[in-house]
Amino acid sequence: MCGIISYIGNSDALQVLLKGLKCLEYRGYDSAGIAIGDKTHPFQVIKAVGRVENLSQKVAQIKPAGNLGLGHTRWATHGGVTEVNAHPQVSYNGKIILVHNGVIENSATLKSLLEGKGITSKSDTDTEVLANLIAFHYESLSALPQEQRFSESVRVSLLEIQGTYGLAIICTDCPEELIGARKSSPLILGVQKDGFFLASDVSAFAGHTKEVVFLSDNEMVHIHGNHYQVQDLNNGVLTPVVQTIDWDVNFADLGSYKHYMQKEIFEQDIALKNTLLGRFSKDGSSAHLGGLQMSPHELRQVDRILLLGCGTASYACRVGEYLIERYARIPVEVECASEFRYRNAPLDKNTLVFVVSQSGETLDTLGALHEARRKGFRSLAITNVVGSTVARESDGGVYQRSGPEIGVASTKAFTGQICTLAMLALYLGRMRDMSFSEGCDFVQALQALPELVHEVLEKCDEPMRQIAHKYANYQHCFFLGRQILYPIAQEGALKLKEISYVHAEAYPTGELKHGPIALIDETMPTVILASDPSMLQKNISSMMEVKARKGKVIAIGVEGAEIPKKAYDDAIFLPKVHDAILPIITALPLQLFAYYVALERKCDVDKPRNLAKSVTVE
């Protein structure tokens, strides 16, 4: 949940670090800091509480210089939000400076051992304990040649660590060296002709290089001058695989939009077009998902599918459950990845596992992937980030190709996940009971989806702005949905909670009478998803029950549906669409509602409190 950027090369490190930190601010923004220097400039550490802009103001006054530096944006895990606890952390002897993502689980034990040797900490962080441990070993390894001493002190220290880490480390005695290491927290090496980058996200050095090396768990990279070497913690030298990342250097440009969330909501037509591109069979009756790395024969042996995800991804999985069971007739289970990894769930031997993660770095989802593979199950991924850990450690999968998503509250990645799961349902369905004509109808609906999304967003934007203005000062909200729209109701409630801090809960509409109705009064607006024509009368009955108790009803209906005006206070009517894409179309006005409510409440839409884009700690 934090961001790392570091640089060593021939350029001024300061501008690289500040630009990278701005790109990483969505990963953590309660404090930020840099360390910078080289063989002619003494190393300086500058930290600030709050946003990167606060750090930039301090840096402008101090004007540090050097071509070696570390940068970090933080979300507090150990210790409060103070400059002392912000990164970089410096060792007791001033020799070791490092930035860290993750949690050192045995930091209390290590801290006690170091205190027994007279080494104390100034901060409350687990990170300073690690810096002190490396410095202790650095002093004890003084007999080694200098070119080995720094890297060896890091290696032996990491062998004593329990927990997770993404690290960038410098030693003031070695101003031409930079070391990185990772375990269950992403770290990427960027390779440039006259310099190198270490970052937790490729966006941090976008525009500088497209050549990258994705480090794996328990690997270190030692950069010395114009060379680098990757090794494991057992001192084995590894052959790095340099990959070329294709990105748009303008992805972070807001253009005419006020926030990244707004931009990403309105990018969904393009994102979905990219998700669908080249993924249909020549006869137009099925999907083509070659990345699954499974033959039709193997897929036909699958008796059950398990979908795993966290947060928004888990709601996409629940939509996928309905789609796959309806169109492919395969039983599906959905489980929160954070729960699955800690329980011994009995699974059929012919179970196929899918893990769903926008970033591909979500720690709980990675843990679930490892648990599934440990038990011998074929495990595939649906992710948005090429080269992510989930992508590299799964047996195959599908890239969403939604493009970079910076807003913390997921929008285009969510609809991209549903779209991908819809294609999976189509693909598996055509292998089983789905007819050619049904497949063609399904494909045509998916192909029409991007343009339909564009039209719905244009149509709903201003009405949802007005509805949000009307309800922005309410402190609670219910979301109700039936069948495939229940997880869309859950996602709508989550979006409202995430960015506007309104208490919101979602229920299956039929559960209203089984408890939640006790809370209905004039202070409790209820969003009822009534865009499924097959459930219309049931939904109208629920609306009337809410209205009878003086509750406010916001209805999301379908054009042409005969909903009595007395059943709702406000309504948005969507076009009638194929059942497979109904969840995506219904999600759009809920995204707009959350966005505009947050604006009305003067919330920081892209940086909601206590949240970060990629959750890489438990």
| DSSP element (H, E) containing 7 | strand 3-9
Q: What is the pLDDT of residue 90?
A: 97
Cα–Cα–Cα angle for 357, 363, 366, rounded to 5 degrees: 65
Tokens of 160: 């004593």
User: What's 346's DSSP letter?
Assistant: -
CA nearest to 289, candidates 275, 277, 298, 279:
279
Q: What is the mean pLDDT of each run of 10 residues along the chain (618 residues)?
A: 90 94 78 95 95 93 95 84 95 97 94 96 95 97 92 97 95 97 93 94 87 94 95 93 74 83 96 96 94 91 96 97 97 94 85 94 90 93 90 93 89 97 97 96 98 98 97 96 97 97 95 90 94 88 93 94 93 96 98 98 90 64
- Map out the domains of the chain with their CATH numbers: 3-244 (3.60.20.10), 260-600 (3.40.50.10490)
Tokens of 517: 């109705």
pLDDT in tens, 17-42: 999 998 887 765 789 999 999 999 99
Instruction: Give the Cα separation of 500 and 584 in Å (integer).
Output: 22
Find all residues with CB under 8 Å of 379, minimum gap 6, and list them: 353, 354, 355, 369, 372, 373, 394, 395
Instruction: Give the Cα separation of 36 and 45 in Å (integer).
Output: 7
pTM metric for this prediction: 0.87
Locate the DSSP E strands across 304-350. 304-309, 332-336
CB-based contact 406:260 (threshold 8 Å) = yes
What sign for the dihedral angle of Cα 197, 203, 205, 207? positive
Q: Which of 2, 310, 317, 460 is catalytic?
A: 2
Q: Which of 19, 412, 547, 613 is catalytic?
A: 613
Indicate the residue type of 245: I
Instruction: Give the Cα separation of 305 and 312 in Å (integer).
Output: 19
Q: What is the pLDDT of residue 113?
A: 96
Instruction: Give the Cα separation of 113 and 559 in Å (integer).
Output: 69
Q: What is the pLDDT of residue 406?
A: 86
570-574 and 553-558 beta bridge pairing: parallel
Q: What is the pLDDT of residue 34?
A: 97
Indicate the residue type of 326: R
Sheet containing strand 304-309, edge to edge, reads: 332-336, 304-309, 351-357, 379-383, 397-399
Is 2 a catalytic site residue? yes
CB-based contact 292:321 (threshold 8 Å) = no
533 preceded by cis ω (within 30°)?
no
Distances (CA, A) of 35 to 8, 137, 177, 227, 423: 12, 22, 14, 22, 47
Q: What is the pLDDT of residue 348?
A: 85
Instruction: Give the Cα separation of 335 and 304 in Å (integer).
Output: 13
User: What's 27's DSSP letter?
Assistant: G
> Environment class of residue 36 by beta-carbon count within 10 Å: exposed (0-12), middle (13-18) or buried (19+)?
buried
